Structure 1
């Protein structure tokens, strides 16, 4: 069932209906992503609060926008060493109340990397991947994360938010897959495989 024919969509407010449309645009990569998409649909349509209102875990499940910054010429993507998570991740942040997830990408990209968000032609201003992930550490909660793709030349990323990140790295998808899963977002290997497939299908780098 797609978001457009979800039985509850007609009764939802505009932001929730829009979110259903966004996740309906995500082509599931595997059975786990299919399961996560279905879980996200039920969460959105069920009327639960969607946005974080107090750090780190209120409500215990909330919406996040990730953005993978890609350098097509080099066939590389940018990962950041997130201080609180203790993992290498794409950049991103929590979606504010009523905020469009793409607007959150634009805002966070400027704040965290100091560059303007330019959507990759692979997915445009639509999410490419979706995950539902339980966090670890203090204040465990569940992030429903929309993963977007951005285009940027690696040379344009000259600084980053050092309060959030301890380092940044540009890696090919092969290098991502060679990294220990314990050091990465738990879905990073799956994302890298999906990205490599999408790049190949689009005839792009990598």
Structure 2
């Protein structure tokens, strides 16, 4: 094995692990099916996967979202993201060679000041996947793995005020009543998928 071959092994392993992770995501609709197929092709194609320079290098990179759900009262947490100007789940960019779940645990501490506790809905596996072109300066494409965490409403008492203007808890039906242009463009689709998974559990 040459030195260049050896340097490629970790990258190949990471791509194989990500592919296996995505195989566990059951597509909710045709759009998610299309996004999953495009992401699989992107991973297999050898393109860079991780952001190396803020905000848009490379122009397509991995993100871990985490939706915090109070499983008792059925409410989820959204944050008012300053840069995006939208209500979103919390999350962050996956660092080079970082497992996406490790991103969730790191960002959860940084953004919401709590430990990441996997939900009973999906555990440490992503529930949803989206491919989204961002808005504003430094536009790029986020390939986002959506995880579900659990916390009580009163379990979150502070947040990263540099990133977020405020936070709010909404019932799943209240999320669907929110205007689409105030939310992540896939938030309604995610919420419907989550409602279906909860109903079938």
Structure 2-normalised TM-score? 0.94
What's the CA shift for 1:127?
Answer: 0.5
Q: What is the alpha-carbon distance in structure 2 between the residues aligned to residue 88 and residue 106 of structure 1? A: 21
Q: What is the alpha-carbon distance in structure 1 between the residues aligned to residue 14 and residue 156 of structure 2? A: 32
Q: What is the alpha-carbon distance in structure 2 between the residues aligned to residue 70 and residue 102 of structure 1? A: 17
Query: For residues 96-146 of structure 1, what are the alpha-carbon distances to aligned partners after superposition, in whole Å with 9 as ceiling and x for unaligned?
Result: 000000000000000000000010121111100000000010010000000
Q: What is the alpha-carbon distance in structure 1 between the residues aligned to residue 171 and residue 20 of structure 2? A: 31
1:129-140 correspondence to structure 2 within 5 Å: 129-140=128-139
1:78-89 correspondence to structure 2 within 5 Å: 78-89=77-88
Q: Which runs of 5+ in 2 are unaligned?
A: 1-8
Q: What is the alpha-carbon distance in structure 1 between the residues aligned to residue 91 and residue 126 of structure 2? A: 13
1:1-206 correspondence to structure 2 within 5 Å: 13-202=12-201
* Coordinate RMSD, CA, aligned: 1.3
Match of 2:5 in 1: none
Superposed structure 1 runs of 4+ greater than 2 Å apart: none
What's the CA shift for 1:173?
Answer: 1.0
Q: 2:68 is paired with a residue of what secondary structure?
A: strand
Q: What is the alpha-carbon distance in structure 1 between the residues aligned to residue 33 and residue 127 of structure 2? A: 13
What's the CA shift for 1:74?
Answer: 1.1
Structure 1-normalised TM-score? 0.92
Q: 2:189 is paired with a residue of what secondary structure?
A: helix
Q: 2:190 is paired with a residue of what secondary structure?
A: helix
Matched residue pairs, number?
193
Query: For residues 56-115 of structure 1, what are the alpha-carbon distances to aligned partners after superposition, in whole Å with 9 as ceiling and x for unaligned?
Result: 100000000000000011100000000000000000000000000000000000000000
